[in-house]
């Protein structure tokens, strides 16, 4: 049902003369578990100036409400992705996503 709602929303935007160029990390493809590929998609979209957002709902992501709260998020809730970066922390690289 959610996929159909997204398809309808895209079509409404197209009919209004807008071109929604959406990149979905979870687009039903098998690569959804490939964290490196997901990260590269986020970085690329950020570098190209795409507007990005995400949703969080415990029943959809397989996480408990407690896990979501412990990560500093709320569910169900929608967030804007403001920035995506890799920063050096000691001898490793931390991947950061700035949400609002």
Please give the residue range of the domain that contains residue 23.
Answer: 2-99
The number of domains in the chain is: 1
pLDDT value at position 51? 83
Question: Given a cut of 90, is residue 90 above it in pLDDT?
Answer: yes
Class of residue 59 by CB neighbours under 10 A (exposed 0-12, middle 13-18, buried 19+): exposed
The one-character DSSP state at 31 is: G
Cα gap 30→88, rounded to integer Å: 30
pLDDT at 58: 65
Residues 17-35 have pLDDT tens digits of 666 565 565 555 555 568 8
CB contact at 8 A, 53 and 20:
no
Whole-number Å distance between alpha carbons of 42 and 71: 19
């Amino acid at each position: 049902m959610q996929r159909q709602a997204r398809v309808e929303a895209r079509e409404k935007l197209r009919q209004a003369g807008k071109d929604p160029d959406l990149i979905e990390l979870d687009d039903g493809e098998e690569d959804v578990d490939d964290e490196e590929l997901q990260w590269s998609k986020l970085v690329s979209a950020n570098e190209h100036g795409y507007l990005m957002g995400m949703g969080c709902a415990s029943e959809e992501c397989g996480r408990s409400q407690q896990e979501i709260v412990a990560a500093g998020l709320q569910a169900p809730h929608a967030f804007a992705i403001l920035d995506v970066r890799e920063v050096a922390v000691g001898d490793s690289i931390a991947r950061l996503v700035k949400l609002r």
